[in-house]
Amino acid sequence: MRVQDSSALLEGTGFSFRILAGGESRPEAADVELLCGAFHPGMGGAVGQVVNINEGRQELCGHANDFALKLQIVLLERPLRVFHVQLEVTDINDNAPVFPAARKNLSIAELSVPGSRFPLEGASDADIGANAQLTYTLGPSEYFTLDVKSSDENRKSLFLVLAKSLDRETIAVHRLVLTATDGGRPSLTGTMELVISVLDVNDNMPQFNQSVYKVQVPENSERGTLVIRLNATDLDEGSNSNISYSLQMLSQQDGRDVFRIDRTSGEIRLTGDLDFEDVNLYRLQVDATDKGTPPLSGHCKVVLEVLDGWWEVLDVNDNAPEVWVTSLSVPVPEDASLGTVVALLSVSDRDSGESGRVRCWVWPASPFGLEATFLGSYSLVLREALDRERVSEYEVEVRAEDGGAPPLSSTRSVAIPCSRLSPNEIAAAFDERCPKAS
């Protein structure tokens, strides 16, 4: 505000000024002392000086939409002159919306039904009027939407709404961004990250790798001998995935004093003597039960055949297959013909019988396949045409699994780069396929 010494200003008359709250300040100017309501000009009573109001728009006006600062300015001259000044302070959009925190952690039960609502705390804006009118948007999500309810002109209630059933085993944590945008021109925004943890419910039962396990046990096995080690898995977490094992007898013969299962490890061991002439076959049911509420159980059957004591002691499947790459011919030319041998592999298992019998395959599906050459040896061959522009290098995984109970497996990865044809090779191939006319 600039005060001029002019005879056109009459004592006691009022006039209005319009200023911007974010206007440039002038540190050399005298201040309007709001406390006493009097203006004291600088030394010597000079006129034409700039008067600043040091307080910002928010300190003076709070959140009022309309604010007029009424001042009575007394010029200490003779005669005294009094002016009534009304300053209308207009807000500019210099404050972005602010959330209470940069991140909000939420925990939602996996069994929450679609339509469930979860309250959120909105943002605040230190501006007023349209500059403080906020709209909210939620980042893209197929599981959640945002519902905004207006409680009054300046306050809105926010709710996160579940749009689709949750599955912790598919997505355990959802991360979304909530954005608040004010009505200023240009508009300003503020954001808050929503981190939504899905609380597990016991909706998965333990599962075994096989439904039936077959085991042969020599009659002369000593007490404490490990018969089989079973393992069940549960896709839940926490106590919902903690598994305990129990044994049930399915055959008419009472084998409760012969076998025992460790509730934690799933190991079945001999606790009594076997007699081939008395009982030569036991059928057991093993239950795997989690500790959820309510608990869920999975089951498998174990068929134990007792072998005559004169039989050779059977091998236990305690060795996984081993895969070696004995020869590798890379890179493979892009125009290599089908059937081209890329690598030679050797497979072995130190166990005997079915436990030492190994089958191999390539995973995932690729232009390459395995061909057995002789026992324990395979050739990795090209089965489909290569296209270097589409895939420049293939990562082939060879998987091997034995026939034990339960089976053991291993893998071996082979990197196969594909080489580009040289210009001469391209020209030669073209000439070969398109002979010149005579």
Nearest to 286, CA basis, from 295, 299, 305, 271: 299
Is CATH 2.60.40.60 the classification given to domain 103-199? yes
**Tens digits of per-residue pLDDT, 128-171?**
888 888 999 999 999 999 999 887 666 789 999 999 999 998 99
178 contacts 138 by C-beta, under 8 angstroms: yes
According to DSSP, the residues that pair with 425 across neighbouring strands are none
314 contacts 307 by C-beta, under 8 angstroms: yes
Which two tokens mark 25?
């300040």
pLDDT for residue 2:
43
Q: Domain 207-307 adopts which CATH fold?
A: Immunoglobulin-like (2.60.40)
Which strands sit side by side in the sheet containing 358-363, from one edge to the other?
332-333, 409-419, 393-402, 358-363
Is residue 123 over pLDDT 90? yes
Distance CA 73, CA 157 (A): 46
**Tens digits of per-residue pLDDT, 74-109?**
666 667 777 777 777 677 888 999 999 999 999 999
In which band, very low, low, confident or very high, does the pLDDT at 251 lie, cut at 50, 70 and 90? low
Do 103-199 and 207-307 have matching folds? yes
CATH of domain 322-423: 2.60.40.60
pLDDT for residue 156:
86
pLDDT for residue 19:
41
In which band, very low, low, confident or very high, does the pLDDT at 366 lie, cut at 50, 70 and 90? confident
Q: At 411, which helix (H) or strand (E)? A: strand 409-419
User: Domain coordinates of the chain in residue numbers?
Assistant: 14-90, 103-199, 207-307, 322-423
Nearest to 137, CA basis, from 118, 122, 127: 122
Could you tell me what percent of the chain has a pLDDT over 90? 50
Distance CA 368, CA 98 (A): 57
Nearest to 315, CA basis, from 357, 358, 351, 270: 351
pLDDT for residue 61:
54
Distance CA 54, CA 283 (A): 91
**Tens digits of per-residue pLDDT, 44-66?**
333 333 444 545 545 555 555 55
Rounded to 5 degrees, φ, ψ at 69 are -95, 115
What's the count of helices (H) and strands (E) in the chain, helices before strands?
2, 29
336 vs 155, more confident: 336
pLDDT for residue 429:
53
Distance CA 221, CA 414 (A): 43
For residue 41, whether the previous peptide bond is cis, meaning omega lies within 30 degrees of 0, is: no
pLDDT for residue 42:
40
For residue 423, whether the previous peptide bond is cis, meaning omega lies within 30 degrees of 0, is: no
Is residue 224 over pLDDT 60? yes
